[in-house]
């Protein structure tokens, strides 16, 4: 039977690269984001290019109704989902404490509550069906105290690590994908100044996806694409936290 994946945030960046690579590998898809016309255009392209089924779910994942719409696709027993990619995300331009608290609520819902709801739906369905796979797109920021965004990603990393071990006996693999800087719409949309980020620190979305899927095949619970970021993440974990936090304060 053809495998099916649900990818959130499939209209651009890392999520779009996941949708393209998974369709190329012959998986049917459910793609989720807020922009219907973009979702429909991507779905039409992937259907005609790869002969796969692509369902579209328009949803704002920072709302309960949006989370429920995506969760419904995960619990539909007629069209089972084998792989969930919790990817949709965004960032705010300012540091926590300077931003509007309503915007912080939105971020918390999008980066924490939505993946939590979708993981919950996926685990309950997959456990009853003999297993499945979940990729949670966190960030290398999860290893460094760096405002609310890194705290949200640390939450996702922590829950993923636990879930991968806890649900191993029902054949569910959970990966936290922790990329560094990736060239996508993420920074322009968040109006973040990344002009000071050196060229060597930028990754390509398709390379990030290839590393994640390779690590998923190898059952690695944490995927950190590229050698340079493996080193940086290792340093961030073992150096004193005050030093890491001071270093991370520079740039965004």
Ligand X SMILES: NC(=O)c1ccc[n+]([C@@H]2O[C@H](COP(=O)([O-])OP(=O)(O)OC[C@H]3O[C@@H](n4cnc5c(N)ncnc54)[C@H](OP(=O)(O)O)[C@@H]3O)[C@@H](O)[C@H]2O)c1
Q: Which residues contact 153 (CB under 8 A, 6 or more apart)?
A: 111, 138, 139, 141, 142, 178
> Could you tell me the smallest distance in angstroms from the CB atom of residue 49 to ligand X?
19
> Could you tell me the smallest distance in angstroms from the CB atom of residue 14 to ligand X?
4
> Could you tell me the smallest distance in angstroms from the CB atom of residue 32 to ligand X?
6
Whichever of 127 and 192 has its CB closer to ligand X, that residue is: 192
Q: Which residues contact 99 (CB under 8 A, 6 or more apart)?
A: 92, 93
Q: What are the angstrom distances between the C-alpha of 167 and each of 127, 162, 170?
A: 8, 9, 5
* Interhelix angle 36-50/13-24, nearest 10 degrees: 20
Whichever of 121 and 137 has its CB closer to ligand X, that residue is: 137
> Could you tell me the smallest distance in angstroms from the CB atom of residue 186 to ligand X?
3
> Could you tell me the smallest distance in angstroms from the CB atom of residue 124 to ligand X?
22
Active site residue 238: no
Whichever of 64 and 171 has its CB closer to ligand X, that residue is: 64
Report the C-alpha gap between 21 and 206 in whole angstroms.
Answer: 8
Give the residue among 157, 82, 70 at the shortest CA–CA distance from 112. 157
- The residues that touch ligand X, with contacts defined as CB under 6 A, are 9-15, 33-35, 38, 59-62, 87-90, 110, 137, 139, 179, 181-182, 184-186, 189
Whichever of 87 and 144 has its CB closer to ligand X, that residue is: 87
Q: Which residues of 57-75 are buried (b: 16+ CB within 10 A; e: fewer)?
A: bbbbbbbeebbebbbebbe
Report the C-alpha gap between 161 and 78 in whole angstroms.
Answer: 30
Whichever of 167 and 186 has its CB closer to ligand X, that residue is: 186
- Catalytic residue (choose from 106, 149, 167, 238): 149
Active site residues: 149
């Amino acid at each position: 039977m053809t495998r099916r994946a649900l990818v959130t945030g499939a209209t651009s960046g890392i999520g779009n690269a996941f949708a393209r690579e998974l369709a190329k590998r012959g998986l049917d898809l459910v793609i989720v984001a807020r922009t219907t016309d973009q979702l429909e255009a991507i779905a039409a392209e992937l259907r005609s290019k790869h002969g796969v089924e692509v369902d579209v779910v328009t949803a704002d994942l920072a709302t309960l109704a949006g989370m429920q719409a995506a969760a419904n696709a995960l619990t539909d027993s007629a069209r089972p989902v084998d792989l969930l990619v919790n990817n949709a995300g965004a960032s705010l331009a300012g540091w926590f404490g300077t931003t509007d608290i309503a915007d912080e609520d939105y971020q918390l819902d999008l980066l924490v509550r939505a993946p939590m709801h979708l993981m919950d739906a996926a685990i309950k369905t997959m456990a009853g069906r003999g297993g499945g796979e979940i990729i949670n797109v966190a960030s290398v920021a999860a290893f460094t105290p760096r405002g609310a965004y890194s705290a949200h990603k640390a939450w996702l990393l922590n829950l993923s690590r636990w879930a991968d071990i806890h649900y191993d006996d029902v054949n569910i693999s959970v990966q936290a994908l922790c990329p560094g800087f990736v060239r996508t719409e993420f920074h322009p949309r968040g109006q973040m100044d990344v002009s000071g980020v050196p060229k060597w620190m930028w990754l390509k979305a398709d390379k990030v996806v290839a590393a994640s899927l390779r690590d998923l095949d190898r059952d690695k619970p944490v995927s950190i694409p590229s050698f340079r970021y493996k080193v940086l993440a290792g340093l961030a974990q073992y150096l004193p936290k005050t030093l890491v936090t001071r270093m991370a304060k520079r740039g965004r």
